[in-house]
Amino acid sequence: MSECDDIESYRAGATVVALASQNRSQPASQPIRFNRQELNEILTVYGRKVAAGEWRDYAIDQLKEKAVFSVFRRASEVPLYRIEKQPRLARKQGAYAVVTPTGLILKRGHDLKNVLRAVEPRRLRIVDA
């Protein structure tokens, strides 16, 4: 086949498909991640708990539907808490959640700072009467 045959088949009504346009219908799904600001807020709480001797280890998972920051007392245990980010729930219940090992959701919301308050006990002060 020569170039003339290709041009003739094109002019005769052959269908030309651009390969780049075929893949646009199915975008490549990338894993969900925590951004720098979110990690800073999580690691601030984590640092306080490590200094208090309550937490010792963590793991970060980047999955297709959610990002998970798991907190451990010891590396060989199940996580004490899972801090999850699920963007598909952002308009409904909130993208962030703190989950216990049994699956109980302690707190869910739109603001990560408020959600992280679930893992920090309130500081009580003694007030003189």
Q: pLDDT tens digits, residue range 70-88? A: 999 887 778 889 999 988 8
The answer to whether the CB of 84 falls within 8 A of the CB of 103 is no
Weakest mean pLDDT among 56-60, 74-78, 106-110: 74-78
pLDDT given at position 121: 74
State how far the Cα of 95 lies from the Cα of 48, in Å rounded to an integer: 24
> Residue 110: is its pLDDT beyond 80?
yes
Residue 25 has pLDDT above 50, yes or no: no
**Dist. CA 115–CA 107, nearest whole Å:** 6
Coil, strand, or helix at residue 94? coil
> Tokens standing for 118?
């679930």
Give per-residue pLDDT as tens, 90-100. Answer: 888 888 999 98
Q: Which residues contact 64 (CB under 8 A, 6 or more apart)?
A: 29, 31, 32
- Please give the Cα distance from 14 to 104 (Å, whole number): 60
Which of 88, 91, 81 is CA-nearest to residue 118? 81
